[in-house]
Chain A
Amino acid sequence: MGELVVVLLRCTDLRPGVDPLTGAISRDPRASALSASDAAALEHGLRIGELLGKRVLAMTAGGPETEAPLREALALGAEVRRVPVTASYLEELAADERALAQALVAALQGEVPDLVLCADRSADRGTGALPAFLAHELGCAQAPGLVSLELTPDGLVAERRLDYGRRERMLVPLPAVCSVEGAGVRLRRASLPASLQAATAAVPVADVAVKPGAVRVVRAGPSRPRPRHLPAPTGTSRERLLALTGALLSHEPPTVVGPVGAEEAADELLDFLVRQGYLSEARTGWAVT
């Protein structure tokens, strides 16, 4: 067993600007912050680190803009490290989470953590796949999507939501990768003296590089359809409610795709996005290399 609890943080602009005319998204690096899930992961890490008497390392992959949230972690008593990634938006879309997991593990410089914590999904384009890749790279157990994490005499007990309001309690063998929801914790705030000290501290940068992903994104359209102007509501409140809910209108039936091969499935998806207004380009304009 190692001597370390690692918290992997995703620092990003939580309120990116969306151009209402084009749908283009702009992120402000100054607004880089932790999502509720990331903040919860850090809190779990600090608490469990204290209970186990182990060092806590908060690490992020990103550009220099991620240093402000890392300094907040530093002020809370964690060690910090940054894996340098300065990807453009397009490169990020193509990012290979397995390559990222490998880079993060490499940045641990051979130290094997007892526990790795991260958010259940990243706030900006979360697939939730990173924890699984991490567990694979570290060869340890994984417990994703947790709402609580308690150290008991039996070991680490985790809880997660199931359908229909039920919960599942699990005993998590260590070492493990746990991803958590932004719930079930009271966040601590760094003291003023610690914040003052951390404000000017250098954030160590790991000497590793993230390998480029296998996919190359040529271009990306707006992330949502352009806003449409709707006529002012007319009619009685009942009629308006019906119009709003579409209760008595016929709907597009669900589309069952497949079983088909990967290419046809991709074509179907692209057609769907064009039909819904997410893509305006003809399918042939989309090259995936």
Chain B
Amino acid sequence: MTDVIVVGAGPAGASAALTAARAGLEVVLLERGPFPGSKNAYGGVVYGRVLDDVLPGWYDEVPVQRWVTRRSTMVLTDTQALTVDFRSTAWGEAPYNGCTTFRADFDSWLANKAVEAGAQLVTSTVATGLLVENGVVVGVTTDRPDGDLRAKVVIAADGVNSFLAKQLGLLPKTDAAHLTLGVKEVLSLPREVIDERFGVRGDEGVDVEILGCTRGIAGGGFVYTNKDSLSVGVVVSIDGLAKSGIRPEELIADLKAHPAVAPWVQGAEVKEYAAHLIPEGGYDHLPELSAPGFLVTGDAAGLCLAAGIWLEGVNFAIGSGLAAGKAAAGHVQRDEPLTSYKQDLEGSFVLQDHKRLRKAPGLVLSDRVQQQYPGMIADLVEGMFTVTNPTAKPGVLTLLRRSAKKHGVKLRHLAADGLSGGRTFR
């Protein structure tokens, strides 16, 4: 019998194990991979400020590829690209903003912090189910001989599509409507070539989020710079992908061939391909976060923030994991109810951001934003910058009306979406 079992040594599980172990609890951290991060796929950027309090100076030791000092948002059509580009030298200095990092490195580093705090990491071990007695979770079963392990609290940090949360009925058996599929390629490219093509130096890096690159399937794309490789990928609605009959790697091939992206990736060689689900239901589709003897955290609880130009999962996993470890400690040491976990999250950025941006997934993945606005905006800007002499310049409103009409957008819809966007992101 141990105090806490944490299932999954991703960012959520490692953080939960860290706080629980630091509080003096006996913690077993189970991971199915041979080492933390070995099985984990994501896009590429971690926003580490969530660690400021628990691991002060984290930025001096985190295994970083590049610090993101330049962020671009791109809108693409087949032949056009509109980019809003921002760079800040402040993001290249402590306490930094975001960094590109590989999950094998980052997850191992974070899990090691939990081990240093006293948690016991057991790898190559799958938690196959929950032990439930009289409606209370009392442990887990594993795929090892003599593999049942009992604990006062079990924390499910087993990622998206959590089988443990499903066993308790906290998550529906299937839920394709609230999941997206992320696929990415890591492309090898010499460091100097990346520096030159993306206009960065040293350990500066770039994060590009892209709309309009998924053949009308709800979703978006990304390009991130690592030291000597690029991460290029798309995130798309599963329903939309299934209906389209398009294979996800075709979408990456399209993106790499786009005239605005092709010069970045020219001569690069594919090093790695990965695919993974992302929970994108947002606040309105979160499960119950606790049950007797049980907490669910990170992607397992659907806490990844996917709100258009923000795809932040790791920091939300860390934030919720830290709170889960704290709640487990309160329960074991002071008999506090596990429901304090949700209250804690409501007072932190985790549920506050989710709540504020609860309408964002619906808005950003809507047909108009996905299929009509990219072309409309690109045409509007092309009209503004095309010099049509001897004809005089058309007014912006005229151009807007023209491009809206061309793309079948009614101005009242535009106004309504503008208003709801304003409300969502206010």
- List the interface of chain A (C-beta within 8 A of B): 17, 19-21, 28, 30-31, 33, 68, 72, 189-193, 195-196, 199-200, 227
Q: Are A31 and B35 in contact (CB under 8 A)?
A: yes
Q: Are B38 and A20 in contact (CB under 8 A)?
A: no
- 4 pairs of A and B residues whose beta carbons are closest in the complex: A20-B269, A191-B146, A192-B144, A30-B35
Q: Are B271 and A20 in contact (CB under 8 A)?
A: yes
Given A30-B104, A30-B108, A196-B122, A19 and B271 contact (CB-CB distance below 8 Å): yes
Q: Are B38 and A191 in contact (CB under 8 A)?
A: no
Interface string of B4-36 (1 = CB under 8 A from A): 000000000000000000000000100000110
Interface string of B119-156 (1 = CB under 8 A from A): 01111110000000000000000111111110000000
How many CB-defined contacts (below 8 Å) exist between A and B?
Answer: 55
13 A-B contacts, Cβ less than 8 Å apart? A21-B269, A189-B143, A189-B144, A190-B144, A190-B145, A191-B145, A191-B146, A192-B144, A192-B148, A192-B149, A195-B125, A199-B122, A227-B269
Q: Are B144 and A191 in contact (CB under 8 A)?
A: yes
Q: Does B234 belong to the interface (CB within 8 Å)?
A: no
Q: Are A33 and B149 in contact (CB under 8 A)?
A: no
Give, as a whole number of angstroms, the nearest-CB distance from B111 to chain A.
11
Instruction: List residues of chain A with CB within 8 A of the CB of B28.
Output: 196
- List the interface of chain B (C-beta within 8 A of A): 28, 34-35, 38, 104, 108, 120-125, 142-149, 188-190, 269-271
Q: How far is the CA of A29 from the CA of B122 in the complex (A)?
A: 17
Residue of B nearest to A28 (CB): B104
Q: How far is the CA of A92 from the CA of B104 in the complex (A)?
A: 25
Q: Are A21 and B190 in contact (CB under 8 A)?
A: yes
Q: Are B35 and A20 in contact (CB under 8 A)?
A: no
Give, as a whole number of angstroms, the nearest-CB distance from A213 to chain B.
30
Instruction: List residues of chain A with CB within 8 A of the CB of B145.
Output: 189-192
Beyond the given pairs A21-B189, A189-B143, A192-B142, 19 more chain A to chain B contacts, judged by CB atoms under 8 angstroms and listed by A's residue number, are: A17-B271, A20-B188, A21-B188, A21-B190, A21-B269, A28-B104, A30-B104, A31-B38, A68-B35, A68-B123, A72-B124, A189-B144, A191-B144, A192-B147, A192-B149, A195-B122, A199-B120, A199-B122, A227-B269
Give, as a whole number of angstroms, the nearest-CB distance from A245 to chain B.
26
Q: How far is the CA of A191 from the CA of B143 in the complex (A)?
A: 9
Q: How far is the CA of A196 from the CA of B143 in the complex (A)?
A: 14
Residue of B nearest to A75 (CB): B144
Given A30-B38, A31-B38, A191 and B270 contact (CB-CB distance below 8 Å): no
Instruction: List residues of chain B with CB within 8 A of the CB of A189.
Output: 143-145
Q: How far is the CA of A68 from the CA of B35 in the complex (A)?
A: 10
Give, as a whole number of angstroms, the nearest-CB distance from A201 to chain B.
12
Q: How far is the CA of A227 from the CA of B120 in the complex (A)?
A: 43
Instruction: List residues of chain B with CB within 8 A of the CB of A72.
Output: 124
